[in-house]
Amino acid sequence: MKRLKKLIAFVVTFALVFGAMAVGFAASPFTDVKSDAPYASAVDRLYALGITQGMGDGTYGPDLPLTRAQMVTFVIRMLGLEQVAQAAASEPPAFTDIKDHWAVGYINVAKDLKITDGVGDGKFAPDANLTYGQALAFAIRALGYTDVKWGTPTLAKAVELGLTQGINLGFNDVINRGETAMVLNKALETETFRGYDANGNPVYGPKLISKVATYADYTVIATNAQDNTVPSGKVKVLDKDNNLTTINAGIVDFSKYLGKKVTVYSAKYGDPVYVAEKTNDVVTFTEGQNSVGTTVYKNDTNLTPITLNDVYTLYNGYLTKLSKVTIYKGADVTIINNNYVIVNNSYARSTVVYNDVQSGDKYINRSSDYELRGTVTVIGAVNKVTDIKANDYIYYGNQYDVNGNVVGTVIYVVRNQVTGTVTEKSVSGTTYKASIDNVSYKVANANVWNGLNVGNKATVILDKDNVIVGVASTTTTSANYAIYKSKSNPYNEWFAKVNLVMPDGSVTTFNAVYSRVPSISLTGGEIVTYTVDSNNALTSLTPVTTGLYNLTNGSYKTAANTLTNGDGTIYYLNDKTIILNHKTDDSYAALKLSDLKDVTGGLTGKVVADSYNIAKMVVFENASFVSTTTSTVYGYVTGVATIYASDGSTFNRLTVIAGGQTKTYDTVDSTISATQNTPVVLTLTNGKVSAVGTPTVVPATGTVTLSNIDQVNLRVTAKFSDNSERGYLLDPNFIVVKTDGTLKGLGDITSTTPVKLYVNDIGKVFVIEIQQ
């Protein structure tokens, strides 16, 4: 055996000196090892390291038992002593029952290294099935614990070393090949035991895997997932001399080790099979304020600054340099070894989404501040950009490469709304709060707070911190329109009655709750809103002042249900509009839309309308409706051609986009014409164009921008040069064009795009012309 010991020493030295050269190993080729099996990664590693070659038929046999001889073979290969075992085959057998056995060399080496003492009586039982306890004993002895006694001490040491993880067997149960691979795999990741020092402290050596693998120290920088310049299957690292290089990734997921110092173990002359983290200094905190240059700030009372070199930074999932980005307040920051920064959830801005995001959109909210640049990653409530809907709340950030170029967009979506009655509002300094169904919420700012009214039912939009950041909808509850007629005389706490003209024209007498309506200073004929309690008693009576307009010399068009005031203001009526006609006998008659006829001028009365001029209530003064007809077409001219007819007449043929269709109109003669690529209003006589006019344009001079586009409800808000704003309704068949006639879409308009709005006779925008 002396010759055998010398050979062992020689082979170990050879492996240490020449261990960097050799054959590569691929991932497991075994057809019976499924990727999701608990032993799959263990089998892959054992195969890559040359510890197992399987059953010889392309399978591994994970459910089959293995023999004691096979286990010893695995262990000797794990120790890097394959050549020694081959040489030891010619040595005298260490046990009486292994003469001429195929594993005699492996067993001889195991006996010499005190990995096995056999089963007694000088025998080894090479072909007996391996038990769980025996597998653990072989593994812990391979790690250097050769003095651990059999039985409970063996199991206790194995548990201490973590070799039993994921396995549920009795100590004397037969273990299969899959479970054995798991035990050996854990052993490979465990430090070897060398003995005790003079003070009785244990001394440990390198991990067992170092016996069969080469290893080197690196700092992991990025894989292809974090930097698309890194080839697939490679990983960008800093070597021990801080040189940037790439290595093969092998079977290791290096994204788990980004920024960290690691020891990478590779199959000799092959690819990585295991990574062990070294000691790393990791500091994690929330960014307290926006970073400046390469200085970041902790979110503590002192906003403690940390100034770093211009280190590699994984920013919102992509590799860049620290100086190329701003780490925004609230971002999650991890600094590793003061040499690598990981930043997540760094968002430059946030907003309520006003319109559903459509395929092909270049911007969210048509704003260049929310441009969809590069690869778009959507996280949170949805994972696709086209799943982002109106009234979602989003946080917007970008990804940058090492040169500071934008390579991607990251959007975090919050879809959280609460519907209920606004039960309370409060303000303290700059802190705004509101209660919805008696649950208190912080409100983002005064504008949102002002949009909530106590007693109204509202649907509010919440951000990720449950702060109210917007109002999706609000409804005034228990409020109704009526016309005040008169009150009782006397009117006091014992006798209080009020007569109101209802939407159907009838007069209803209400008992008033005197404590809620103690006095009435109205004279009669005023439009009011009122509320009642569960007993139908009047609890409030409020004259309408906001949105109330006098109607003078008005006109009505049945085709569009529009009422045009004498000053040119257009109001839009619908089936929800309350319409009353005040007659000369002081009675009121209820009207339906179908009762109204075209009237040109002469209408008087009052109108209650919202900010988009949608009429809530109209009260005419003794109106009489007489039917008239007109024929006009609002459209956009895309072509003009002169036609010479066979009868000798000459006229022009206009190609026009009108009502969502491309149509042609002939003029009555050649003197009537239009300019190509312009919005027009055509007057038709007997189906032919008898006049071409210019529609109303907003603004009359200069341009406007659109601060909001609500495509769902067909509304836009125009922002003028003096920063004033006004809402306009879109015609259902509106078009967007450039001045050269190129058709575009709303997605091509940002909040800074200059436009002109062309308005038809019912006040709706039918052409948006981009002035670029």
> What residues are paired with 497 via a beta bridge?
511
Please give the Cα distance from 207 to 542 (Å, whole number): 84
The burial of 228, by beta-carbon neighbours within 10 Å (0-12 exposed, 13-18 middle, 19 or more buried), is given as: middle
| CATH T-level assignment (fold) for domain 212-277 | OB fold (Dihydrolipoamide Acetyltransferase, E2P) (2.40.50)
For residue 331, what are its two tokens? 């971002």
DSSP one-letter string for 447-503: HHHHT--TT-EEEEEE-TTS-EEEEEEEE-TT-EEEEEEEE-SS-SSS--EEEEE-T
For range 162-172, the mean pLDDT:
95
Strands (E), 610-754: 615-621, 632-644, 650-658, 661-666, 678-685, 688-693, 696-698, 705-710, 715-719, 725-738, 743-744
Whether 473 and 448 have beta carbons less than 8 Å apart is answered as: no
Angle between helices 177-188 and 68-78 (to 10 degrees): 20
For range 631-646, the mean pLDDT:
89
Please give the Cα distance from 583 to 579 (Å, whole number): 13
For range 573-584, the mean pLDDT:
92
- How much is the pLDDT for 6? 46
Mean residue pLDDT across the chain? 90
In order of 27, 32, 427, 484, the CA distances from 58 in angstroms are: 13, 8, 74, 93
For residue 633, what are its two tokens? 């077409």
pLDDT tens for each residue of 678-724: 999 998 877 788 899 999 999 989 999 998 888 778 899 999 999 99
pTM of the entire predicted model: 0.62
Q: Which helix (H) or strand (E) holds 414?
A: strand 406-414
In order of 139, 140, 156, 157, 190, the CA distances from 196 in angstroms are: 20, 16, 19, 16, 17
Q: Identify the architecture of domain 696-770 in CATH.
A: Beta Barrel (2.40)
- How much is the pLDDT for 18? 32
How many CB atoms sit inside 10 A of residue 44's CB?
23
Please give the Cα distance from 277 to 262 (Å, whole number): 4
> What residues are paired with 220 via a beta bridge?
237
- φ and ψ at 316, to 5 degrees? 50, 35
pLDDT tens for each residue of 454-497: 888 899 999 999 999 999 876 655 458 999 999 999 999 889 99
Whether 747 and 709 have beta carbons less than 8 Å apart is answered as: no
Whether 510 and 537 have beta carbons less than 8 Å apart is answered as: yes
Please give the Cα distance from 765 to 746 (Å, whole number): 13
State the Cα angle at 233 between 227 and 235, rounded to 5°.
50
For range 14-31, the mean pLDDT:
46
* Whether pLDDT at 22 is above 90: no
| CATH T-level assignment (fold) for domain 417-475 | OB fold (Dihydrolipoamide Acetyltransferase, E2P) (2.40.50)
How many CB atoms sit inside 10 A of residue 167's CB?
20
For residue 342, what are its two tokens? 């990981």
Q: Which of 713, 754, 764 is nearest to 355 (CA)?
A: 713
> Is 696-770 in the same CATH topology as 417-475?
yes
Please give the Cα distance from 635 to 758 (Å, whole number): 10
Contacts 24+ apart (CB under 8 A), 242-245: none
pLDDT tens for each residue of 269-327: 788 999 999 999 999 999 999 999 999 999 999 999 999 999 999 999 999 999 999 99
Please give the Cα distance from 300 to 38 (Å, whole number): 43
- How much is the pLDDT for 268? 76
How many CB atoms sit inside 10 A of residue 611's CB?
12
For range 97-109, the mean pLDDT:
95
Interacting residues of 383 by C-beta distance below 8 A, sequence separation 6+: none
Q: Which of 366, 344, 458 is nearest to 709 (CA)?
A: 366
Confidence of residue 16 (pLDDT cuts 50, 70, 90): very low
For range 594-615, the mean pLDDT:
91
Name the strands in the sheet holding 615-621, side by side, starting at the edge strand that comes first in the sequence.
570-572, 562-564, 548-557, 599-609, 615-621, 578-582, 588-590
Please give the Cα distance from 78 to 209 (Å, whole number): 7
* Whether pLDDT at 535 is above 90: no
Whether 612 and 715 have beta carbons less than 8 Å apart is answered as: yes
| Pairwise pLDDT comparison (321 vs 507), residue with the higher score | 321
Whether 324 and 400 have beta carbons less than 8 Å apart is answered as: yes
- How much is the pLDDT for 8? 45
* Whether pLDDT at 628 is above 60: no
- How much is the pLDDT for 231? 95
Please give the Cα distance from 148 to 138 (Å, whole number): 11
Whether 112 and 94 have beta carbons less than 8 Å apart is answered as: yes
Terminal CA-CA length for the chain: 92
- φ and ψ at 413, to 5 degrees? -105, 130
* Whether pLDDT at 28 is above 90: no
Interacting residues of 496 by C-beta distance below 8 A, sequence separation 6+: 487, 488, 511, 512, 513, 514, 517
* Whether pLDDT at 14 is above 70: no
- How much is the pLDDT for 479? 54
Confidence of residue 630 (pLDDT cuts 50, 70, 90): low
Whether 373 and 411 have beta carbons less than 8 Å apart is answered as: no
For residue 315, what are its two tokens? 């920013």
For residue 282, what are its two tokens? 């990791």
Q: Which of 194-208, 216-230, 285-299, 442-456 has the lowest mean pLDDT?
A: 442-456
Residue with tokens 């030295």: 13
For residue 561, what are its two tokens? 């249900």
Confidence of residue 398 (pLDDT cuts 50, 70, 90): very high
> What residues are paired with 589 via a beta bridge?
581
Q: Which of 216-225, 361-370, 383-392 has the lowest mean pLDDT?
A: 361-370
Domain boundaries, the chain: 2-209, 212-277, 282-344, 349-414, 417-475, 480-543, 548-621, 632-693, 696-770
- φ and ψ at 31, to 5 degrees? -75, -20
How does DSSP classify residue 287?
B
Whether 385 and 372 have beta carbons less than 8 Å apart is answered as: yes
The SS3 call for residue 251 is: coil
Angle between helices 132-142 and 152-161 (to 10 degrees): 60
The burial of 65, by beta-carbon neighbours within 10 Å (0-12 exposed, 13-18 middle, 19 or more buried), is given as: middle
Please give the Cα distance from 573 to 566 (Å, whole number): 17
For range 87-106, the mean pLDDT:
94
